[in-house]
Amino acid sequence: MTDLNIRKSGKTGRITFTRPKALNALSYQMSLDIEAALDDWALDDDVTMLVIDAAGEKAFCAGGDIADIYAAGTKGDYAFGQKFWADEYRMNAKMFAFPKPVATFMQGFTMGGGVGVGCHGSHRVVGDSSQIAMPEVGIGLVPDVGGSYILAKAPDRFGEYLGLTAARMGAADAILAGFADYYIPEALWPELIMQLEHTGNYKLIDAAATPAPEGQLEAIRSDINMHFAGETLADILRSLSNDPSEFTQKTLKVLNRNSPLSMACALELIHRNRGATELRTALQQEYRFTYRALEKSDLIEGIRAAIIDKDRNPQWQHSLEALPTFEVTQMLLPLGKAALTFEKEEHA
């Protein structure tokens, strides 16, 4: 495997992303390989804990590798994307429920699919270069891989703000919002990981942690709570539009770039998952959107504008002022027999 280095080292199961030139983007095969390792190590008495890290300085994992999904979708093949997401979400659920400590070391970009690997562990470590985000609404998707669950559990209205603006979180903000647990200077990571391999003692992470440098979210907490408490996207936009402050102007500019349908559905998912007690509930809700995404959402156009043509000028189906609420409802309706079951299909 060239994209991942999966091995046992000392008392740990080790997974290292090894495609730094691609910002360690998560491919379909990588997701399957991570799941296989989780299955093996859950029952392996020689593995006391897992340690997951990444090669390169720029990224832990900057997201899912969606070029193949786009290629299939433009040909009318929606099944590939549906299977990709179903299998990825099954891996995310196993990571969340893994019966042993899971330590992740997330330098640089950790976004989208990277959050699904890095932010469901029990000991999530960030440093000075860490930039964590759920940027899906910018390409016509919704915060998925269980991201809606973390956003729903964030304090106050941080989840709504982060999910709709796709704002990037440094170390302190990631800890505040529930995407990470520990700040440890990155220069200390190699020695700490070596000690974890030798001892399998996850408490070494607690001992190495220090307070993170001040973040950005705390300073705008009151603004976020004031304007992102609405039930619908229209409520939030109305609140922002009626206040000519620097915060609202900046925020409206960001929201105007994102897919209206995606933002409205993301908001609904965050609200629905506020009462969820298990990641699987959120993943099943997210899958309702992603199952339909290639056919009915802005995803193909969003990927085209951001990644294929790179013109940064997506033509969304709807404007912020004219988004039919029934389309939000339709994207999140139960899938019936196609509902996510977390069962692994065996293929010859």
- CATH number of the domain within which 112 lies: 3.90.226.10
Q: Per the domain annotation, does 295 fall within a domain?
A: yes
Q: How far apart are CA 131 and CA 154, in angstroms?
A: 17
**CA separation (Å) from 14 to 6, 49, 104, 128, 143?**
6, 9, 10, 23, 27
Q: Does the pLDDT at position 322 exceed 70?
A: yes
Across the chain, mean pLDDT equals 96
* pLDDT for res 181: 98
* pLDDT for res 316: 97
pLDDT band with cut points at 50, 70 and 90 for residue 345:
confident
Q: Per the domain annotation, does 184 fall within a domain?
A: yes
* Per-residue tokens: 263: 């933002």
Q: Per the domain annotation, does 277 fall within a domain?
A: yes
* Per-residue tokens: 347: 């293929």
Instruction: Please calculate the CA angle 147-61-260 and round it to the nearest 5 degrees.
Output: 45
φ, ψ dihedrals at 213, nearest 5°: -55, 155
- 174: containing domain: 4-338
CB neighbours of residue 320 within 10 Å: 18
Q: Does the pLDDT at position 347 exceed 60?
A: no
Half-sphere exposure of 14 (CA within 13 A, CB side): 18
Q: Per the domain annotation, does 257 fall within a domain?
A: yes
Helix (H) or strand (E) holding 85: helix 79-96
Q: Per-residue pLDDT averaged across 220-237, rounded?
A: 97
Q: Which residue has the higher pLDDT, 16 or 347?
A: 16
Half-sphere exposure of 209 (CA within 13 A, CB side): 20
Q: Does the pLDDT at position 174 exceed 90?
A: yes
Q: Per the domain annotation, does 12 fall within a domain?
A: yes
Q: What is the pLDDT of residues 70-98, one digit of tens each?
A: 999 999 999 999 999 999 999 999 999 99
Residue 346 Rama label (left phi>0; alpha psi -120 to 50; beta):
beta
Beta-bridge partner residues of 132: 110, 169
The answer to whether 171 and 130 are in contact (CB under 8 A) is yes
φ, ψ dihedrals at 162, nearest 5°: -70, -35
* pLDDT for res 23: 96
Q: Does the pLDDT at position 311 exceed 80?
A: yes
pLDDT band with cut points at 50, 70 and 90 for residue 2:
confident
Q: Does the pLDDT at position 1 exceed 80?
A: no
Q: Per the domain annotation, does 344 fall within a domain?
A: no
Q: What is the pLDDT of residues 36-70, one digit of tens each?
A: 999 999 999 999 999 999 999 999 999 988 888 99
φ, ψ dihedrals at 32, nearest 5°: -65, -40
pLDDT band with cut points at 50, 70 and 90 for residue 201:
very high
Q: Does the pLDDT at position 346 exceed 90?
A: no
pTM of the model: 0.96
Q: How far apart are CA 17 and CA 23, in angstroms?
A: 9
Look at residues 66, 86, 35 and name the one whose alpha carbon lies nearest to residue 286: 86
Look at residues 231, 123, 137 and name the one whose alpha carbon lies nearest to residue 183: 123
* pLDDT for res 305: 95
- Helix 233-241, helix 158-165: angle, nearest 10: 90
Q: Per the domain annotation, does 343 fall within a domain?
A: no
Q: How far apart are CA 135 and CA 341, in angstroms?
A: 26
Q: Per the domain annotation, does 289 fall within a domain?
A: yes
Kindly state the percentage of the chain with pLDDT values over 90: 95
Q: Does the pLDDT at position 348 exceed 60?
A: no
Q: Give the total number of structural domains in the chain.
A: 1
* pLDDT for res 107: 98
Q: Per-residue pLDDT averaged across 210-219, rounded?
A: 97
Q: Does the pLDDT at position 233 exceed 70?
A: yes
Q: Does the pLDDT at position 185 exceed 70?
A: yes
